[in-house]
Structure 1
């Protein structure tokens, strides 16, 4: 019997992903003036691929998307085909700051949900006192 129904582990995994994204975003912002630096982003596409690999689907046409997945939980990719500055740097500070704020809000919501889960467990363990 799973006591916590996987909720705490799912929240922990989500916090880990938000932490990784935070590190990549702050690294991009820190390198705003670095010549030829290319902005990086975290791709969690592999997670979706892993989840869809559990689905039983029948392809009725060769053009349909495969339901297979593999690899790590995430990958860090850089976009080398653009350049926003004269020195070859492609960090868009407005986009990075927007993504950073969004990630911080998401992280805070996850922390509050985790805290609420632990408070509920504490209430159960203390008998509502």
Structure 2
């Protein structure tokens, strides 16, 4: 029996995504001066679009509802951007963009952490009898 439905699992997958994105951005920043290094990104939207194009069976109670399905695998992957070059040494890491993405990702991860803490605090309150 699950008290939160799929909420904890979804939060866990979201934290996995944010963690992978943080490692990828940190790797890009650490290689900002490495000759011929190509920046990497964590892709989510392409995978989402591919998943949405497959035929899922779901119950729609309103014609405006979106069809959806459950997937057990991660819906993100790391890709390398080979199409650009920002530096004279073949490197394409834009440090300003990477730092901005890092800050956004840290805020996202903190929000996820606060949300999952709230879920566990609710469960703890129920266990203690509302005290």
Partner of 1:119: 121
Per-residue deviation, residues 69-118 of structure 1 (Å, max 9, x unmatched): x9862221111121111101000000000000000000000000000000
User: Matched residues in 2 for 1:110 and 1:39: separation?
Assistant: 26
User: Matched residues in 1 for 2:2 and 2:121: separation?
Assistant: 19
Residues 93 and 14 of structure 1: CA distance in aligned 2, closer, same or farther (over 3 Å): same
Per-residue deviation, residues 37-95 of structure 1 (Å, max 9, x unmatched): 00000111324433553267xxxxxxxxxxxxx98622211111211111010000000
User: Matched residues in 1 for 2:87 and 2:57: separation?
Assistant: 44
Partner of 2:66: none
**1:74-113 pair list within 5 angstroms:** 74-113=76-115
Gaps (5+ residues) in structure 1? Answer: 57-69
**1:1-129 pair list within 5 angstroms:** 1-44=1-44, 45-51=46-52, 53=54, 54=56, 73-129=75-131
Kindly indicate whether the alpha-carbon contact (under 8 Å) linking 1:46 and 1:72 is maintained by their aligned counterparts in 2: no
The normalised TM-score by structure 2 is 0.80
The normalised TM-score by structure 1 is 0.81
